[in-house]
Structure 1
């Protein structure tokens, strides 16, 4: 599938899929969206309500690696540790990732960012003392983890192009994967997705969205 470089509203790049007319991140700002949805309303929301300093995160859609990299950067500034599992059915090539400008905008290590993409799949890697990464190449429908994660970054492609990823079946798997009081966050605010989350048992909140988007969703396992 063809992917082209796309400059978003905050100056950071994402990848565009012409066949779907879809981007990997918000056209209003790739970094801004990730920081708001996954770091602020996901990671720090969970940390503010739990005394544990070790967070187990599942990312649905590793994609460009931006969410994982931003999470790693937060561990470098704070005292918590992260065990990060990323699911991706169609990994990007390193040559594609090298075109992205995240590290220059974040004043961070390009070598470490690329390392996250180069490390082998299906193995746990110590990216740092406080950040461990495991990438798994599989379809979301194949996830069978139970009671394993504190937090899910649900960053699948949008419901317009992949409605099968926003169903009760998929969110049922997310619910089972979370530990009690675990949290799922997503950039989406679609009513069908919200109702699917509620149907499998989640308590769902509408929150203010990232730049260019009115709302997002956060779901908590009861």
Structure 2
């Protein structure tokens, strides 16, 4: 499938899959969406509620461009929090595409570490900074078998319009098992079918104001 690098409404870039008319991040603002959904309502929420012990363990569903990982690393440094980050991706982004995205200039202090994240070997745990370790796993989401492992999940899969099989009860059951008790999952999606699938497997789900271009998003909690 043909992939193009495009500029989103906030000036940051993302990758568009032309055949699907689908993007890795919101066309209304890639950076703004990542900050709003995953950092503000995910990472910072968990930090503020103190429902974890260091290192904070994060699973990203759809490592993709590494934008969410880079922003998390930057925030972890500011908050002085240690993070163990696992990014799952079936189809890794190409180095040429990463260079075109220019995410390294978004946060100049972390420009070198952005490419370091992409250069480290897959399947191995790597120290990116003193308080941020990264394991990239090339894996289909359906094959995740982790249980009671994570404090936080960034669910950033392609939308249900193009990949409905990634937004089903069977997938969210895997996510539920992967989280520790009181663990949190955040996603940009607010579809009723997604919310109901989460609730069906045991999540307590709340609607929150969405990022630019979206009215709502979802945050789910594993309460037992």
Query: Taking structure 1 as the reference length, what is the TM-score of the superposition?
Result: 0.98
Q: Which one is further off, 162-171 or 94-103?
A: 94-103
- After TM superposition, give the deviation of residue 75 of structure 1 in Å: 1.6
- 1:191 to 2:192 alignment: yes
Secondary structure at the aligned position of 1:135 is classed as strand
Output aligned runs, 1:164-203, within 5 Å: 164-203=165-204
Greater CA drift, 25-34 or 52-61: 52-61
SS in 2 for 1:63: coil
Question: For 1:213, what is the secondary structure of its paired residue?
Answer: coil
Distance 1:170 1:85 in 2: 17
Match of 1:47 in 2: 47
Q: Do the aligned residues in 1 keep the contact of 2:123 with 2:138 (CA within 8 Å)? A: yes
1:80–1:109 CA distance, 2 compared to 1 (3 A): closer
Q: Is the 8 A contact 2:74 2:110 kept in 1?
A: no
2:214 & 2:107 partners in 1: Cα distance? Answer: 23
Q: How many Å apart are 1:106 and its aligned residue?
A: 2.5
8 Å CA contact 2:13–2:101 kept in 1: the answer is yes
SS of aligned partner of 1:108: helix
- Whether contact under 8 Å (1:53, 1:79) holds in the other structure is no
State yes or no: 1:19 paired with 2:19: yes
**Structure-1 residue corresponding to 2:209:** 208
**Number of residues of Structure 1 aligned to a counterpart in Structure 2:** 222
CA distance, structure 1, for counterparts of residue 66 and residue 86 of structure 2: 12
Map of 1:8 onto structure 2:
8
Which residue of 1 is the match for residue 126 of structure 2? 125
Residues 175 and 200, structure 1, Cα contact 8 Å, conserved in 2: yes
Structure 1 residue 110 displacement after superposition: 2.8
Scaled by the length of structure 2, the TM-score of the pair is: 0.97
- State the Cα distance separating 1:104 from its structure 2 match: 1.7
The farther-off stretch of 14-23 and 49-58 is: 49-58
Distance in 2 between the 1:4 and 1:46 partners? 34
> C-alpha displacement at 1:127, in angstroms?
0.2
Which deviates more, 42-51 or 80-89?
A: 42-51
Within-5 A mapping of 1:38-117? 38-50=38-50, 52-117=53-118
Please, which runs of 5 or more residues in structure 1 have no aligned partner?
none
CA distance in 1, matches of 2:110, 2:70: 10
Write the deviation string for residues 74-103 of structure 1: whole angstroms up to 9, x where unpaired. Answer: 122122110000000000111110111222
Give the stretch that moved more between structures: 111-120 or 47-56.
47-56
Distance between the aligned counterparts of 1:47 and 1:77, measured in 2? Answer: 12
CA displacement, residues 127-181 of structure 1 (integer Å, 9 cap, x when unaligned)? 0110000000010000000000000000000000000000000000000000000
For 1:38 and 1:119, how far apart are their aligned partners in 2?
A: 23
For residues 186 and 41 of structure 1, what CA distance do their matches in structure 2 show? 9
